[in-house]
């Protein structure tokens, strides 16, 4: 066929496909419609309480986020007998159709701000009507698209649409006859036409497809009643089988639902109801179809708010056609949350699936998370998870990840079988173009025959549509395309496991070369999350000192679930709308209040009242020596029970003590009228003790730092430290998400202190307070040095009022090394400090938790923090991202007051032999204080003696009265230790992280000796020691 003729035929096909869509639905009749509009959601049972008004097509019914119930009535004409009758419904916003008795039937979707062409607007009323039937529909709708509302990038503060705008119109409320045969002809042609566009221009297969599709069109145009004859011509091409060497595609129906993003969690509840209703309807229609969904939190929502839908889900789970995916409670961020939070995500997630469905999920399902910590493989394997799936790494800006199916190895050596669907998409459509691109991208096709396709529009799009499934059915065995089979991801992974020994290996983190700004945006969310993680830890440990009947398991569960849901990968990273964070902070505040109540309760159980006493608790596994800020109501000095005076100083209205408390121990001290009343001076800007000397200039820069113990200058030659730098921060896209490397070229200015507020020396610590004005913002820094410590703390308050600016602090140090160490979940990770390769270059902003360290063998410097995550270590410069000021999707992001502390810690030796680990813990965890209380000879059930192992968790077991203790090796060495128990004998057995494994119990009569491998996490069950 000549090319010009072929082009004419191809244009004819395209034109037919575009025009025929309007002919599926004929003889339209509008419903009689009325509606009841409200600001907030009204449940089905309460829908009749409002006043209904008539409405017709073309009328606007709602503004942004408004809700409405629609009641539609009509009657099918008698002469439509034996026809398929469908309703065509489009309310602009998302909607859910209910039966007259309140059972959700199907969702409706009308485009989005990102995809204006997508629609789900047809609802089948009768497959074969009798004629004359009456119709009544109840429909709940919300005035927003399935991806939120229309937002400006930089809205003015006074704009009435600052948080977005959206108007919803009744576009369609009709019913009519559906020409299903014509629809199938369209699908036949669509598959063949799209396939032809993927084939070589001069291929036989392409020419035959174009020829036969045009023959089918000839037959149809001669007489549209000849659809069956036309389809028989198309069938010739559709029946041609794939080659024997063609790859298989396991197609898993998928609907990625963000727990919050451009909408709040409450709207996600409705998205679950809509999406799951859709998928039940498809499962009923297509016997081969398989759907899967992750996030037990979403199932829990559905169980509570859509019980009829939930019962049908359970039915299809039992049949094996609804796959439970992903072990985490929600699809959580994997950079920012702690190691214990990761474990609890899986513990709550897997327990829910087991308790509700009797099913053990073996995969971690995180298709859309912004990078993956190297600590994850061990946590997965020790939680009974063998497989990992994502596609997000395909979004990387610079380097293409080399594998699709591979072994991922973590910091401890644990391996997880991993798969990245090669379509680089979790919203596939099962069309030839995407599936063939997956085949061509699949990097292991030289020895593997199969890859996964996740298809269906998520986030309110409702998952796969009938068209997607129909495409898959036509491509089960189609020449020129991979062979599609509907199936389950878990079964795919089991097949992949057979090739484990041949799979390539990736060691270390899965770094996403994108969305680096999520390490910093919405700083308060990140701070509150860390504080809650630490508060939960210390209170769980504290409650282990009492009888099991006092352990508030349910209260802890509810608080943990609030923490876990807000660790979702668009909440804690800072990439959600303003309203989401109002809810998050409200929930955080409630969690803190609940924890305070639990703290007061345990204090009354463990301690005796004594107005002259104060009791302290150290939850850390090492001795705490250092500064403790005493409670506001304590305005005294301190003595011990032998009347020895404890160093205390008064700073303004604050009392600061220098305490020494044993590991996992209590300490009671008593009132004294003696304390150091510090003298406020304005002398030289020097902080000094017997170990170290720091000197500042009057602009707040650290101009000299000298380690007197080691006789080494800390700062690089001719360099200053504590450089507070302001940069322009305008990423090319994804405002809240991204920090582009071009920020390095847009330095604006360094902050310079305009005055020194005060300087002082005391017996606990010395300090200097600087005041800065930086453009529209104000910074106050109290810089302090404790007695007998090298750690220099920068207690910082910022009143931040910038837009598209970024505040960073840097310290050029006198250390030369090509690698730095970064704190991650239950371990640390080494990264290069140079940009020799494109892989190094891409890591210009990386995640770390409590510290980043630069060390030579004899000396090093670490930067510590109490709530920050975005780090850069380039050459010898330690650099910390403090604040951003993005405007989308939250125009108010980070505006206002911030309080945080970062520290510089010079140390002897390398990281492993240093005090960096303990100082970082002390800066973050701190000491619990109980004024007016005396410890009543209470001790924790166990302690540990080890240089490299800590007790991270002591808690009641989830499903028994046993005690759970979790140990972590934190130095990256083979470490030995002893667990010392309060009482002997002790019955002890090892279990896994989620407490499911049952191993033989050992009776211990004395100290329990242990040895852990580098970064190993180990969990023990102690039989009822309370």
Residue 732 pLDDT > 70: yes
E-strand ranges in 366-449 read 387-389, 405-409, 415-419
Task: Identify the weakest region by mean pLDDT among 146-160, 175-189, 435-449, 965-979.
Answer: 146-160
Which domain CATH number covers 659? Answer: 2.60.40
Q: What is the domain extent for residue 982?
A: 941-1026
Indicate the average pLDDT of the chain. Answer: 96
Tokens of 966: 């979790």
Q: State the total domains in the chain.
A: 5
220 and 277 assigned to the same domain? no
Ramachandran region of residue 909, left (φ > 0), alpha (ψ -120 to 50) or beta? left
Residue corresponding to tokens 């345990």: 602
CA proximity to 833, closest of 854, 813, 849, 851 = 854
pLDDT number for residue 113: 55
- Determine the average pLDDT of the residues in 802-806: 98
Has residue 314 been placed in a domain?
no
**Which residues, 6+ apart, have CB-to-CB distance to 466 below 8 Å?**
282, 285
Q: What DSSP assignment string belongs to 291-322?
A: EEE--HHHHHHHHHH-HHHHHHHHHHHHHTSE
- 844, 807: one domain: yes
Q: Quick check: 153 pLDDT over 90?
A: no
Query: Are residue 638 and residue 501 in the same domain, yes or no?
Result: no
Kindly report the length of the chain.
1026
Which residues are within 8 A (CB) of 438 and not within 5 positions of it... i.e. 6 or more apart? 249, 421, 422, 423, 428, 451, 453, 482
- The mean pLDDT of 223-243, rounded to a whole number, is 97
Among residues 234, 195, 235, 189, which one has the least CA distance to residue 13? Answer: 189
**Angstrom distance (rounded) from CA 144 to CA 920:** 45
Whole-angstrom Cα distance, residue 904 to residue 810?
Answer: 10
Same domain, 229 and 257: no
Checking if the pLDDT of 111 tops 80, the result is no
556-605 tens-digit pLDDT: 999 999 999 999 999 999 999 999 999 999 999 999 999 999 999 999 99
Residues 6+ positions from 882 with CB-CB distance below 8 Å? 520, 523, 724, 796, 798, 807, 808, 809, 868, 900, 902
899: which residues sit within 8 A by CB, 6+ positions away?
795, 796, 797, 798
Residue 459: predicted pLDDT: 87
Q: What is the DSSP letter of 804?
A: S
CATH number for the domain including 759? 2.70.98.30
Pairwise CA distance, residues 921 & 531, whole Å: 12
* Tokens 């670490």 belong to residue: 862
DSSP 408: E
> Which residues, 6 or more positions from 323, have their beta carbon under 8 angstroms from its beta carbon?
252, 290, 291, 292, 293, 317, 488, 489, 490
For residue 282, give every residue at least 6 positions away whose Cβ sits within 8 Å of its Cβ, in sequence order, or none: 253, 289, 291, 463, 464, 466, 469
Burial status of residue 989 (CB atoms within 10 A of its CB: 0-12, 13-18, 19 or more): middle
> For 510-532, what is each residue's pLDDT tens digit?
999 999 999 999 999 999 999 99
User: Is residue 864, in this structure, part of any structural domain at all?
Assistant: yes
Residues 975 and 1018 in one domain: yes
**Average pLDDT, integer, range 221-240:** 97
pLDDT at 116 exceeding the cut of 70: no
- The sheet with strand 723-728 has its strands ordered as 747-750, 723-728, 805-812, 877-883, 870-874, 846-847
Q: How would residue 676 be classed by pLDDT, with cut points 50, 70 and 90?
A: confident
Note whether 953 and 924 are same-domain residues. Answer: no
Q: Are 822 and 373 in contact (CB under 8 A)?
A: no
163 contacts 579 by C-beta, under 8 angstroms: yes
In a domain, 907, yes or no: yes
Residue 850 domain-assigned (yes or no): yes
Q: How far apart are the first and last CA of the chain?
A: 85
Tell me what pLDDT residue 1025 has. Answer: 66
* 540 closest CA partner among 1007, 966, 1008, 1024: 966
Taking alpha carbons only, the member of 194, 272, 270, 188 closest to residue 231 is: 188
The answer on 705 and 652 residing in a single domain is: no
792 and 879 fall within a common domain: yes
Contact 11, 162 (CB under 8 A): no
Domain co-membership, 914 together with 1019: no
Q: At which of 886, 920, 935 does a domain end?
A: 935
Residue 191 has pLDDT above 70, yes or no: yes
Distance (Å, whole) CA 568 – CA 260: 8
Rounded distance between C-alpha atoms, residue 565 and residue 259, angstroms:
8
In CATH, what number is assigned to the domain containing residue 1003? 2.60.40.2220
Final residue before a domain boundary, out of 928, 949, 974? 928
Q: Please write down the HEC assignment for all residues of 188-235.
A: HHHHHHHHHCCCCCCCHHHHHHHHHHHHHHHHHHHCHHHHHHHHHHHH
883, β-bridge pairs: 807
DSSP label at residue 870: E
Claim to verify: residue 920 and residue 969 sit in the same structural domain: no
**pTM of the predicted structure, to 2 decimals:** 0.97
Angstrom distance (rounded) from CA 506 to CA 492: 20
- 810 and 714 share a domain? yes
Please say whether the dihedral angle defined by the alpha carbons of residues 390, 391, 395 and 399, taken in this order, is positive or negative: positive
What CATH number does residue 476 fall under?
Answer: 3.20.110.10
Residues 407-438 pLDDT 10s: 999 999 999 999 999 999 999 999 999 999 99
Helix axes 432-441, 180-196, angle to 10 degrees: 30
How do 387-389 and 363-365 pair as beta strands?
parallel
Structural domain contains residue 731: yes
182-210: average pLDDT: 97
Q: Is residue 161 part of a domain?
A: no
- Evaluated on CA atoms 691, 695, 700, 703, the torsion sign reads negative
Run of H or E residues at 828 = strand 827-832
In this structure, the answer to whether residues 768 and 869 fall within a common structural domain is yes
Q: Are 597 and 371 in contact (CB under 8 A)?
A: no
Q: Which residues are catalytic?
A: 368
pLDDT of 114 over the 60 cut = no
**What confidence score (pLDDT) does residue 2 get?**
75
Cβ 347 vs Cβ 511: under 8 Å: no
**Tens-digit pLDDT profile for residues 310-341:** 999 999 999 999 999 999 999 999 999 999 99
Three-state secondary structure call for residue 459: coil
- Domain's final residue, options 883, 907, 928: 928
**Distance of alpha carbon 78 from the chain centroid:** 54
| Cα(183)–Cα(336) distance, integer angstroms | 48
Q: Quick check: 1 pLDDT over 90? A: no
CA distance 225 to 234: 16
Using the predicted structure, report yes or no on whether residue 1026 has a pLDDT greater than 60. no
Could you tell me where the beta strands, DSSP code E, fall in 76-171? 85-90, 94-98, 104-110, 119-120, 122-126, 134-142, 168-169
Give the rounded percent of residues in the chain with a pLDDT score beyond 70.
Answer: 99
Provide the angle, in degrees to the nearest 10, between the axes of the packed helices 265-285 and 578-606: 110
Question: How many other C-beta atoms can be found within 10 angstroms of the C-beta atom of residue 936?
Answer: 12
- Is residue 303 assigned to a domain? no
Q: What is the pLDDT of residues 679-697, one digit of tens each?
A: 767 678 999 999 999 999 9
Token pair belonging to 33: 């419609």
Say if 65 falls within a structural domain. Answer: no
929: left (phi over 0), alpha (psi -120 to 50) or beta: beta
Q: For residue 26, what are the CA distances in angstroms to 72, 87, 178, 773?
A: 19, 11, 7, 68
In this prediction, residue 736 has a pLDDT band, given cuts at 50, 70 and 90, of: very high
pLDDT digits (tens, 9 = 90+) for 136-147: 999 999 999 888
């Amino acid at each position: 066929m000549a090319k010009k003729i072929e082009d004419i035929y191809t244009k004819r096909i395209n034109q037919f496909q575009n025009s025929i869509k309007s002919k599926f639905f004929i003889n339209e009749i509008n419903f009689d419609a009325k509606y009841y509009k409200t600001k907030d959601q009204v449940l089905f049972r309460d829908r009749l309480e409002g006043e209904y008004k008539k409405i017709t097509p073309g009328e606007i019914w709602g503004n942004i986020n408004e809700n409405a119930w629609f009641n539609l009535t009509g009657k099918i004409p008698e002469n439509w007998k034996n026809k398929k009758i469908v309703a065509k419904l489009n309310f602009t916003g998302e909607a859910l159709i209910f039966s007259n008795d309140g059972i959700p039937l199907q969702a409706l979707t009308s485009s989005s701000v990102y995809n204006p062409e997508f629609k789900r607007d047809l609802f089948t009323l009768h497959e074969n009507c009798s004629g004359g039937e009456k119709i009544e529909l109840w429909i709940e709708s919300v005035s927003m698209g399935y991806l939120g509302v229309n937002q400006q990038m930089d809205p003015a503060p006074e704009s009435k649409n600052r948080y977005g705008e959206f108007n919803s119109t009744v576009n369609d409320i009709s019913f009519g006859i559906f020409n299903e045969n014509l629809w199938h002809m369209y699908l036949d042609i669509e598959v063949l036409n799209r396939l032809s566009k993927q084939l070589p221009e001069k291929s036989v297969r392409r020419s035959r497809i174009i020829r036969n599709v045009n023959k089918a069109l000839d037959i149809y145009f001669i007489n549209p009643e000849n659809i069956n004859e036309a389809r028989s011509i198309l069938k010739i091409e559709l029946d041609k089988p794939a080659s024997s060497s063609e790859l298989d595609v396991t197609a898993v129906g998928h609907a990625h639902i963000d727990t919050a993003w451009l909408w709040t969690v409450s709207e996600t509840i409705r998205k679950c109801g809509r999406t799951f209703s859709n998928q039940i309807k498809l499962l009923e229609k297509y016997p081969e179809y398989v759907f899967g969904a992750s996030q037990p939190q979403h199932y829990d929502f559905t169980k509570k708010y859509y019980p009829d839908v939930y019962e049908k889900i359970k039915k299809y789970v039992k049949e094996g056609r609804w796959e439970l995916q992903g072990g985490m409670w929600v699809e959580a961020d994997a950079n920012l949350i702690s190691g214990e939070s990761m474990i609890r995500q899986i513990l709550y997630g897997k327990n829910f699936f087991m308790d509700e469905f009797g099913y053990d999920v073996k995969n971690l399902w995180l298709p859309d998370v912004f990078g993956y910590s190297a600590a994850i493989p061990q946590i997965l394997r020790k939680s009974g998870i063998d497989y990992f799936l994502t596609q997000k790494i395909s979004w990387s800006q610079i380097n293409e990840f080399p594998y699709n199916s591979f072994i991922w190895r973590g910091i401890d050596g644990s391996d997880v079988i991993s798969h990245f669907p090669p379509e680089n998409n979790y919203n596939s459509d099962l069309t030839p173009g995407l599936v063939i691109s997956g085949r061509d991208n699949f990097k292991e096709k030289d020895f593997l025959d199969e890859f996964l396709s996740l298809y269906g529009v998520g986030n309110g799009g409702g998952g796969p549509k009938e068209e997607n499934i129909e495409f898959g059915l036509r491509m089960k065995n189609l020449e020129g395309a991979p062979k599609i089979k509907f199936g389950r991801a878990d079964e795919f992974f089991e097949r992949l496991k057979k090739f484990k020994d041949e799979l390539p290996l990736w060691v270390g983190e899965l770094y996403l070369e994108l969305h680096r700004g999520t390490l910093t945006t919405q700083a308060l969310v990140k701070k509150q999350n860390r504080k809650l993680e630490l508060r939960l830890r210390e209170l769980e440990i504290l409650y282990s000192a009492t009888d099991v009947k006092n352990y508030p398991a349910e209260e802890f569960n509810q608080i943990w679930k609030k923490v876990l849901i807000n660790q979702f990968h668009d909440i804690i990273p800072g990439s959600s709308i303003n309203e989401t964070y109002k809810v998050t902070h409200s929930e955080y505040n409630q969690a803190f209040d609940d924890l305070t109540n639990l703290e007061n309760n345990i204090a009354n159980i463990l301690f005796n009242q004594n107005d002259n006493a104060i009791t302290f608790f150290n939850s850390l596994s090492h001795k705490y020596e250092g500064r403790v800020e005493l409670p506001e109501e304590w305005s005294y000095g301190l003595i011990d029970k032998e009347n020895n005076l404890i160093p205390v100083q008064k700073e303004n209205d604050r009392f600061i003590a220098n305490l020494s408390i044993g590991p996992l121990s209590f300490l009671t001290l008593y009132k004294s009228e003696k304390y150091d009343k510090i003298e406020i001076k304005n002398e030289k800007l020097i902080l000094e003790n017997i170990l170290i000397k720091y000197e500042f200039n009057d602009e707040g820069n650290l101009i000299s730092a000298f380690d007197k113990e080691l006789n080494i200058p800390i700062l690089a030659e001719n360099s200053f430290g504590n450089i507070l730098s302001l940069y322009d921060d305008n990423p090319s896209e994804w405002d809240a998400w991204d920090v582009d490397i071009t920020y390095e070229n847009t330095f604006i200015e360094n902050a310079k202190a305009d005055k020194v507020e005060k300087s002082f020396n005391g017996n606990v610590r010395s300090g200097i307070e600087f005041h800065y004005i930086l453009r529209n913002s104000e910074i106050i820094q109290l810089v302090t040095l404790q007695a007998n410590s090298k750690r220099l703390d920068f207690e910082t308050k910022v009143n931040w009022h910038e837009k598209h600016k970024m505040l960073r602090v840097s310290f050029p140090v006198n250390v030369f090394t090509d690698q730095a160490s970064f704190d991650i979940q239950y371990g640390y990770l080494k990264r290069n400090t140079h940009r020799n390769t494109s892989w190094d270059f891409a890591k210009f902003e990386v995640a770390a938790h409590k510290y980043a360290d630069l060390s030579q063998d004899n000396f090093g410097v670490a930067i510590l923090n109490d709530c920050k995550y975005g780090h850069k270590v380039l050459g010898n410069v330690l650099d910390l991202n403090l604040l951003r000021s993005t405007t989308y999707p939250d125009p108010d992001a980070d505006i206002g007051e911030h309080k945080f502390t970062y520290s510089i810690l010079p140390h002897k030796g390398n990281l492993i032999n240093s005090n960096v680990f303990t100082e970082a813990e002390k800066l973050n965890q701190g000491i619990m204080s109980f004024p007016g209380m005396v410890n009543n000879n209470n001790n924790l059930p166990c302690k540990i003696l080890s240089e490299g192992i800590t007790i991270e968790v002591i808690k009641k077991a989830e499903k028994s009265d046993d005690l759970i203790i979790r140990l972590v090796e934190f130095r990256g060495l083979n470490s030995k230790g002893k667990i010392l128990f309060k009482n002997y004998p002790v019955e002890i057995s090892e279990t896994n992280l989620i407490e499911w494994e049952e191993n033989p119990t050992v009776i211990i009569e004395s100290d329990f000796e242990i040895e852990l491998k580098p970064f190993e996490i180990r969990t023990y069950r102690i039989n009822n020691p309370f």
